[in-house]
């Protein structure tokens, strides 16, 4: 298993695994598979190039046999009054590769990089939908604490899901 940063040559694999994540885990993410699968190439390229901008995003992936099997990224908030906060939007591990410590390796890389290269950041915040128990456990294991809950934040196939807000103070 190779854990590394996103590279400009990863566009096709990024697009594939992003769509896979939305299709396989519709209750884990805000975006929907149906919306993204009709995006044109220009829109995909624009999102992808934002992820390559290392001033604004730290993006790690895991690959096996040249295929991306997991990804995770953190966004740096570029507003002057908010640049002490990093926002951890999401992560995903392909079902066949779960429970092997891959998410933990990705999260450790992200947090280490924040600690070493972005010393102004004092906390990482995230939100996660309540049914994602594995993710909530993972974040707790890394020291994230729940500080809030938003009721009925996601609607999917006529059901509503609550969202949990978590944060980790680095110093």
Ligand X SMILES: CC(C)(COP(=O)(O)OP(=O)(O)OC[C@H]1O[C@@H](n2cnc3c(N)ncnc32)[C@H](O)[C@@H]1OP(=O)(O)O)[C@@H](O)C(=O)NCCC(=O)NCCS
Residues that bind ligand X (CB under 6 A): 25, 28, 90-93, 98-104, 128, 132-135, 137-138, 141
For residue 6, with 0-12 CB atoms within 10 Å meaning exposed, 13-18 middle and 19 or more buried, which class applies? buried
Angle at 143 between CA 142 and CA 145, to 5 degrees: 130
Query: Considering the complex, what minimum distance in angstroms separates the CB of residue 23 from ligand X?
Result: 12
| Number of residues in the chain | 171
> 76 or 128, CB closer to ligand X?
128
> 119 or 162, CB closer to ligand X?
162
Q: How far apart are CA 168 and CA 96, in angstroms?
A: 29
Lookup: tokens for 121: 């950041």
> 45 or 47, CB closer to ligand X?
47
Query: Considering the complex, what minimum distance in angstroms separates the CB of residue 39 from ligand X?
Result: 21
For 1-144, list the strands marked E by DSSP.
2-5, 57-64, 67-76, 85-93, 123-129
> 95 or 120, CB closer to ligand X?
95
The residue number with the shortest CB distance to ligand X is: 103
Query: Considering the complex, what minimum distance in angstroms separates the CB of residue 164 from ligand X?
Result: 9
Query: Considering the complex, what minimum distance in angstroms separates the CB of residue 27 from ligand X?
Result: 8
Q: How far apart are CA 144 and CA 22, in angstroms?
A: 24
Query: Considering the complex, what minimum distance in angstroms separates the CB of residue 92 from ligand X?
Result: 4
> 44 or 161, CB closer to ligand X?
161
For 54, the 3-state DSSP assignment is coil
Q: Please report where in the chains the tokens 């896979």 appear, as a residue.
A: 20
Least Cα distance to 86 among 63, 61, 107, 62 occurs for 107
């Amino acid at each position: 298993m190779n854990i590394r940063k996103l590279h400009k040559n990863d566009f096709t694999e990024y697009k594939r695994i992003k769509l896979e994540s939305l299709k396989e885990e519709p209750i884990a993410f805000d975006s929907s598979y149906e919306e993204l699968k009709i995006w044109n190439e220009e829109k995909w390229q624009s999102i992808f190039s934002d992820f390559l901008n290392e001033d604004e995003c730290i993006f790690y992936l895991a690959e096996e046999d040249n295929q991306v099997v997991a990804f995770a990224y953190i966004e740096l908030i570029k507003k002057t009054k908010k640049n002490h906060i990093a926002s951890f939007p999401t992560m995903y591990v392909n079902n066949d590769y779960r429970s092997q410590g891959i998410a933990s390796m990705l999260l450790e890389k992200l947090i280490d990089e924040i600690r070493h290269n972005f010393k102004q950041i004092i906390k990482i915040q995230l939100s996660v939908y309540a049914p994602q128990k594995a993710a909530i456990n993972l974040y707790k294991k890394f020291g994230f604490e729940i500080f809030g809950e938003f009721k009925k934040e996601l609607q999917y196939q006529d059901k509503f899901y609550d969202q949990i807000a978590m944060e980790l103070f680095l110093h």
